Chain A
Amino acid sequence: KAGVTQTPRYLIKTRGQQVTLSCSPISGHRSVSWYQQTPGQGLQFLFEYFSETQRNKGNFPGRFSGRQFSNSRSEMNVSTLELGDSALYLCASSSYRVTNTGELFFGEGSRLTVL
């Protein structure tokens, strides 16, 4: 069974640009969550999607947005990039609606560098 696939794995952008990251969950998983990982802050929750609907949102500015498609694939977008957005963005899928009922399966992440 294929794992969670995130693309691209690495990307470099400049301040003010926007970026779109993609996540393909494990087949059959309908819940997709996104986390931002930085050395100082650990894993911070961005948002969760289930059946194409955003179910939860973390404490991030409106520049961070996402969506989920009918095949459960998800994208996240960051507009007007800032230096502080440099991070590893992790996607996780789950077969359960709520993440506290089962395992999260993480992808290897997309490492974004903002110059």
Chain B
Amino acid sequence: GDSVTQMEGPVTLSEEAFLTINCTYTATGYPSLFWYVQYPGEGLQLLLKATKADDKGSNKGFEATYRKETTSFHLEKGSVQVSDSAVYFCALYYGGSQGNLIFGKGTKLSVKP
């Protein structure tokens, strides 16, 4: 079945460092891909999304490109801030009902000043 695999954390970076969090997926069709972010003590919120191959989602300085050839949707940010410390979830929606959303296990990011 469809699935999402993301790099295990935790990831610890210094402020202004470059961030990459890897995400790969397995899907039989053409899913939509998402990154959700969970700040400490809060629920998840949508960070960015891409609905078709070669689409780039971006928000708050974060970017991810839907790569069909490598079945990947890696999250990147050029210069992280302490406020980016959170858990990041890659997710895949494979169509049909809204329940068909699969989350990865999450990657915890800690940014040190």
Question: Is A bound to B?
Answer: no
Interface residues of A (CB under 8 A from B): none
